[in-house]
Structures are given as structure tokens and as C-alpha cells.
Amino acid sequence: MDDILRVEGLTKRFGGNEVLGGIDLAVQTGEVVCVIGPSGSGKSTFLRCINLLETPTGGRVLFHGQDVTQLPASVLHAKVGMVFQQFNLFNNMTALQNCVAGQVRVLRRSRAQSVEKAMFYLERVGMLPFRDARPAQLSGGQKQRAAIARALCMDPEVLLFDEPTSALDPEMVDEVLSVIRTLKDGGLTMLIVTHEMAFARDAADRVVFMDAGRVVEDAPPQKLFTAPENPRTQAFLARTMRG
């Protein structure tokens, strides 16, 4: 099997504070892996170390067997896309321009080609009618869908989601999750940090439970949610599934 992503002994410390204490994880092509765990367990930092938004302190991240620190930044970031909790759409651009900018500047695509691709993905996330809207004019759910389209326009092989629905009103969560589900159907490899347990249960191929900067349990959702082995996983799930 081809591991599209392989993380080996990844550590990260901020000053004296160890946030990641040696993470090992392999993701196969087409796999959807959800990362769950309590706040402050290092989930976001882990994700940000993969595409080098944070510089790892130790260990390696391999993309198709190649150390990501050896890859040119433009290649790494185009191939490993990211969707943020706070959307981070470019505020000085319309939804369409958000999707075009990276293609033109980073991939050196022609403007016409970029617009065509942007329109395609904006339609796929249901944002085509809002293509000329600026972020200030969009709801949270719309912003996040546009941000997903922006990431898709770079033709990524892996998409990292950093709590994509945590900043959304409850009624907007579903519109974003359903977009992510269609991406799974399209066969895109995704690593999703989320607090949406129901989503993780039915959309993920594997669920990883993280606590205190380590992977505590890594199992298919049916197993992890119904028969978790580790007591910490059990305690966490008992707390979060109660509601």
C-alpha cells in the first residue's frame, strides 16, 4: 500500500512546553482519517506541522516517502491543502478571486484556466451564486465552503481540515460537513481534526484519538466509538457522547 502521508516520531515544543510527544501515523491514498481529542491535546499543532505552518521540533513527515522539509514550499502547499477553523478567506478578494489567486501565482496557470477551475469547484460546494461576494458579505458556512473550494483549486492530493466547523453556528455545520462528504465520495485523502463525533463516526475510515500530545488510540470508527480499548478514550467518549 502506498502511504501518501507518513508521520514518524513527530515532536513539537514551544519553549519548554511539549505539545507533541512523538506522533506516528500513516495515511493511505484515498483514506479519510478523523483526529479527535480534548482541547489542548495537540491536534491542531499536529496538523500544522504536517504542512509546515509550524516547524516540527523533531521527527519526520513524509509525503509519498519524501521528507516535507525537502520539498519546495510551493509544491508541498499545493499538494497538501489546508482548511482553517477561522476560514481565513482573503478579505480583500471576492470568493472567485480567492480561488483564482493561488492558481495564478503559485501554479502559474493562465487566468482563464484558473477561473474555469474555480467556477467548477465553487459550483461543487454550492458557492457559484456567491462568487462575486466578499468574505464580509458571506455567512460562516458560506465562507468555509468557499475556503474548501479555494483549497481544491490547487489540485491537492491531501486536504487537512483544522476543526472546519468549530466556528460555525449549528445550522451551518451540516452544509460544510455535507461538502466534505462529497469529497470523500470523490476519493480525496483527508485528515480532519474535528469535534463532530457523529460525522467522524460515519465519514471516517479511521479515527485517531489524541491526548496530551500523543496518539492514544487509532482504530476504525465502528471499533473506536463502540468498543474503545484505552481508558482515556473511554472517558473522553463518555463525556462527549452524553449530550
Partner 1 sequence: MPQSFFGWIEFLLRQYGGLFLTGAATTLLIALVGTAAGFAIGLLVAVVRTIPLRKDAPAVKRALLAAAKGLLTAYVEVFRGTPMIVQAMVVYYGASQYLGLNIPAMGAAFLVVSVNTGAYMAEIVRGGILSVDAGQKEAATAVGMTHWQAMTVVVLPQAIRNILPSVANEFVVNIKDSSVLNVISVTEVFFMSKSAAGTYYRYFEVFFITAVIYFALTFTFTRLLRLLEKKLSGSASYTVYGSQSSHRAEIEVPVDPGKGGRDG
Q: Does 189 bind partner 1 (CB under 8 A)?
A: no
Among positions 115, 173, 208, 224, the unique one binding partner 1 when judged by CB under 8 A = 115
Q: Does 90 bind partner 1 (CB under 8 A)?
A: yes
Q: Does 17 bind partner 1 (CB under 8 A)?
A: no
Among positions 150, 161, 163, 203, the unique one binding partner 1 when judged by CB under 8 A = 150
DSSP string for 135-175: GGGS-HHHHHHHHHHHHHTT--SEEEEESTTTTS-HHHHHH
Closest C-alpha among 155, 94, 89, 93 to residue 121: 155
Q: Does 241 bind partner 1 (CB under 8 A)?
A: no
Give the range of 102-110, 175-183, 191-199, 228-236 binding partner 1 by CB under 8 A: 102-110
Within 41-80, the residues that bind partner 1 by CB under 8 A are 51, 53, 55, 69, 73-78
- Between CA 74 and CA 184 the distance in angstroms is 25
Q: Does 105 bind partner 1 (CB under 8 A)?
A: yes
Shortest Cβ 115–partner 1 spacing (Å): 6
Q: Does 84 bind partner 1 (CB under 8 A)?
A: yes
Residue type, 175: E
Nearer to partner 1, 43 or 77 (CB): 77
DSSP state of 163: S
Shortest Cβ 195–partner 1 spacing (Å): 19
Torsion, Cα 231 163 23 75, to 10 degrees, reads 160
Q: Does 230 bind partner 1 (CB under 8 A)?
A: no
Closest C-alpha among 218, 176, 8 to residue 83: 176
- Between CA 201 and CA 131 the distance in angstroms is 33
Report helix, strand or coil for 154.
coil
List phi, psi (to 5°) of 242. Answer: -60, -40
Nearer to partner 1, 84 or 236 (CB): 84
Q: Does 125 bind partner 1 (CB under 8 A)?
A: no
- Strands of 58-63's sheet, edge to edge? 17-28, 3-14, 58-63, 66-67
Query: Residue written as cell 478567506?
Result: 89
Interacting residues with partner 1 (CB under 8 A): 51, 53, 55, 69, 73-78, 81-82, 84, 86, 88-92, 96, 101-102, 105-107, 111-112, 115-116, 119, 123, 128-134, 136-139, 142, 147, 150-151, 154
